[in-house]
């Protein structure tokens, strides 16, 4: 019976759906996390009577035919890149992007990765780094003895140095944007890599056309809506149960058929 395998594909699809939802809920408090959504497609159809075929020598046409579907498959799991809320932290090196763009991070391999999580710190050399110690790109170093550090909306970093009247310019933070943000490859640790699907990075200064602005002393929160995720979880659970009932009903029908004498 086709319904056995059809119900199984539905259960596997909803299992994946629950896994995606659970990851969203688990990352409700992750800085700048973007929720994901599973997208499904129907599988192939078995044409028992093809629509549009002729049904007689007089060339009469079958109006609808008989097509039986064989289940569902996962088409993709895509990221929803809507803006999260900005949460005030008061930390000098916390930065949030209001609008489009990603911070550029230099990995130990020399490769450039991208992130929306602006929870930065300084290391022993005064370099602005991520919580894992990876440098922001372009690299910026805060001199020892700096009284304060100011990062404006356009990414200009300045420091007040003891004994100096004017603030010292330390560098310029730049952002990267992509044609297809959903095509970025997530590698964990709030980092993404450029792929052929995302397109090449376009680099520019914050507050330029097509780029967001920086907010010092803020971090972007996750864009996960807990009420929506719980509702999606209940829907997925009910769909899983209904697909399991298809398998149960098909099994009972087969038992009935085998008991015929």
- The reply to whether 107 and 188 lie within a common domain is yes
- The reply to whether 146 and 253 lie within a common domain is no
Q: Are strands 185-188 and 213-216 parallel, antiparallel or unpaired?
A: unpaired
Give dist(CA 3, CA 76) in Å, integer: 24
- The reply to whether 140 and 159 lie within a common domain is yes
- The reply to whether 48 and 76 lie within a common domain is yes
Give dist(CA 194, CA 11) in Å, integer: 33
- The reply to whether 122 and 201 lie within a common domain is yes
Length of the chain: 261
pLDDT at 239: 95
Q: Which residues of the chain are under the pLDDT cut of 50?
A: none
The number of domains in the chain is 2
Q: Which of 85, 86, 84 is nearest to 95 (CA)?
A: 86
- The reply to whether 52 and 116 lie within a common domain is no
pLDDT at 50: 78
- The reply to whether 194 and 122 lie within a common domain is yes
- The reply to whether 201 and 146 lie within a common domain is yes
Which residues are registered as beta bridge partners of 214?
97
Task: Give the pair of three-digit tokens for residue 11.
Answer: 């259960």
pLDDT at 41: 93
- The reply to whether 77 and 100 lie within a common domain is no
- The reply to whether 172 and 150 lie within a common domain is yes
pLDDT at 119: 94
Give dist(CA 26, CA 244) in Å, integer: 26
Q: Which of 110, 115, 81 is nearest to 95 (CA)?
A: 115
Ordered alpha helix ranges (H), 135-178: none
CA atoms within 13 A on the CB side of 10: 21
Could you report the per-residue pLDDT of 54-86, keeping only the tens digit for each? Answer: 777 777 887 777 878 889 999 999 999 999 999
Instruction: Mark 87-109 as b/e (b = at least 16 C-beta within 10 Å).
Output: eeeeebbbbbbbebbbbbbbeee
Task: Give the pair of three-digit tokens for residue 57.
Answer: 């020598």
Which residues are registered as beta bridge partners of 165?
none
pLDDT at 65: 77
CA atoms within 13 A on the CB side of 261: 0
- The reply to whether 49 and 99 lie within a common domain is no
Kindly list the strands in the beta sheet with 156-161, ordered across the sheet, starting from the edge strand earlier in the chain: 146-151, 156-161, 168-172
Domain residues for 54? 2-81+224-258
Could you report the per-residue pLDDT of 152-165, keeping only the tens digit for each? Answer: 999 999 999 888 88
- The reply to whether 113 and 230 lie within a common domain is no
- Give the CA-trace dihedral at 134, 216, 33, 86, to 10 degrees: 170
Which residues, 6 or more positions from 64, have their beta carbon under 8 angstroms from its beta carbon?
51
Q: In this structure, are residues 162 and 144 in contact, taking their beta carbons and an 8 Å threshold?
A: no
pLDDT at 174: 96
The CA-to-CA distance between both ends of the chain, in Å, stands at 20
pLDDT at 108: 93
């Amino acid at each position: 019976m086709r319904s056995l395998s059809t119900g199984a594909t539905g259960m596997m699809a909803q299992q994946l759906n629950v896994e995606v939802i659970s990851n969203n809920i688990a990352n409700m408090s992750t800085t700048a996390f973007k929720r994901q959504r599973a997208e499904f497609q129907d599988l192939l159809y078995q044409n028992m009577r093809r629509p549009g075929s002729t049904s007689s020598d007089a060339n009469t046409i079958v109006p609808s035919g008989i097509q039986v579907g064989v289940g569902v498959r996962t088409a993709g799991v895509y990221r929803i890149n809507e803006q999260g809320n900005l949460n005030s932290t008061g930390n000098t090196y916390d930065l949030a992007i209001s609008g489009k763009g990603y911070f550029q991070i230099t990995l130990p391999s020399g490769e450039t990765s991208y992130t929306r999580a602006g929870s930065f710190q300084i290391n022993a050399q005064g370099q602005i780094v991520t919580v894992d110690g990876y440098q922001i790109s372009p690299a910026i170093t805060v001199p020892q003895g700096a009284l304060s550090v100011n990062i404006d909306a356009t990414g200009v970093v300045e420091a007040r140095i003891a004994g100096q009247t004017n603030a010292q310019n330390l560098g310029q933070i730049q952002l990267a944007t992509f044609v297809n943000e959903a095509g970025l490859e997530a590698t964990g640790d709030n980092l993404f890599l450029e792929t052929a699907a995302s397109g090449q990075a376009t680099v520019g200064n914050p507050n330029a056309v097509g780029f967001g602005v920086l907010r010092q002393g803020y971090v972007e929160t996750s864009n996960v809506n807990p009420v929506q995720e719980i509702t999606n979880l209940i829907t997925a659970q009910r769909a899983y149960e209904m697909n399991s009932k298809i398998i149960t009903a098909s099994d009972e029908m087969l038992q009935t058929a085998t008991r015929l004498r």
